[in-house]
């Protein structure tokens, strides 16, 4: 599949209802439909990746070639950002919902016994993935393993070799890669040829939320699209640049998306 034009990232809704971002389809459906789609991929015979584009990742696709490749390679792209979902709906989309890695992790853990899935977690601060794995085993009886992930200078760091060896030994069906974007998505893309088969989910702070080391926004705050503000209040130094400096660039994506719809025959 040819790579899209990074200079013209936009959202497009076809007459049939397909929603695309940067020329690639976004998953349309609820959490149950997403689980059903993942179930179709398992047991995996190759590496399948799931990316979760939000406002920051949408902007990043335009400027980060490695992220763009990871986005293109993904088997499933779920809309994480509320502004992205709202924009698509304004363009005429039906059925597109906000779905996140943080939502998917506990759902997958709850279903793991029934479906026979083994889940691997990696990322977060030291011991966080272990705490999260312990919680999911205790709460759901899930088959969950924690994969230690070292602090690396870049995604090509040779220390990733041990992570890959641990993943081969774990034989997990679903791997939640919680390194933050773009690192998590680019890491999977970079090492794709050496990774064992499975579904790899870029899940950001999912392990932190499960482990209880970070608080997730209340459901009402999530529903009104203000989770970003809640998170920025918790981590202003890390997230202020993302939300206050880069975030407004999403307006160019909005403008381009409406302009392209206007130009449609």
Average pLDDT score over the chain? 90
Average pLDDT over residues 168-192: 96
What is the structure's pLDDT at 1? 35
For 75, list phi and psi in degrees, rounded to 5: -80, -35
Q: How far apart (Å, rounded) are the C-alpha atoms in residues 184 and 53?
A: 12
Predicted local distance difference test score (pLDDT) of residue 6:
46
- The whole-number average pLDDT for the span 109-126 is 93
pLDDT above 90: percentage of residues in the chain: 73
Place of tokens 């939320």: 209
Give the pLDDT band (50/70/90) at residue 223: confident
DSSP state of 110: H
Task: Provide the residue ranges of all domains of the chain, joining segments of one domain with +.
Answer: 26-259
Q: Tell me: the pLDDT tens digits for 1-40?
A: 334 444 589 999 998 889 999 999 999 999 999 999 999 9
Q: What is the DSSP string of 23-57?
A: TEEPP-S-HHHHHHHHHHH-S-SSEEEEE---HHH
- The answer to whether residue 245 scores a pLDDT higher than 70 is no
Question: Is 27:34 a contact under the CB 8 Å cutoff?
Answer: yes
Q: How confident is the model at residue 226 (pLDDT cuts 50, 70, 90)?
A: confident
Evaluate if residue 135 carries a pLDDT over 50.
yes
What is the mean pLDDT of the segment spanning 148-177?
95
Confidence (pLDDT) at 263: 66
**3-state SS, residue 201:** strand
pTM of the full structure: 0.91
In the three-class reduction of DSSP (H, G, I as helix; E, B as strand; rest coil), residue 28 is classed as coil
Tokens linked to 171 = 């034989």
């Amino acid at each position: 599949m040819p790579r899209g034009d990074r200079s013209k990232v936009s959202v497009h809704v076809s007459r049939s209802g397909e929603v695309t971002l940067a020329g690639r389809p976004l998953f349309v459906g609820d959490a149950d439909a997403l689980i059903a789609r993942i179930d179709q991929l398992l047991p995996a015979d190759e590496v399948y990746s799931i990316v979760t584009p939000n406002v920051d990742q949408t902007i990043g696709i335009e400027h980060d070639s490695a992220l763009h490749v990871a986005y293109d390679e993904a088997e499933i792209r779920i809309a994480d950002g509320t502004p992205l979902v709202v924009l698509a709906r304004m363009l005429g989309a039906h059925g597109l919902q906000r779905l996140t890695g943080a939502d998917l992790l506990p759902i997958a853990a709850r279903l793991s016994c029934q479906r026979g899935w083994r889940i691997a977690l990696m990322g977060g601060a030291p011991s966080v993935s272990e705490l999260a794995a312990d919680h999911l085993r205790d709460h759901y009886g899930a088959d969950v393993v924690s994969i230690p992930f070292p602090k690396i200078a870049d995604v090509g760091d040779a220390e990733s070799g041990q992570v890959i060896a641990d993943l081969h030994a774990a034989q997990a069906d679903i791997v939640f890669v919680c390194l933050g974007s773009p690192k998590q998505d680019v890491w999977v893309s970079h090492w794709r040829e050496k990774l064992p088969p499975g579904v790899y989910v870029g899940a950001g702070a999912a392990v932190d939320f499960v482990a209880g080391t970070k608080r997730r926004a209340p459901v009402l705050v999530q529903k009104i699209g203000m989770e970003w503000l809640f998170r920025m209040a918790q981590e202003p130094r890390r997230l202020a640049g993302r939300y206050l400096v880069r975030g407004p660039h999403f307006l160019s994506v909005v403008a381009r998306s409406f302009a392209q719809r206007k130009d449609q025959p």
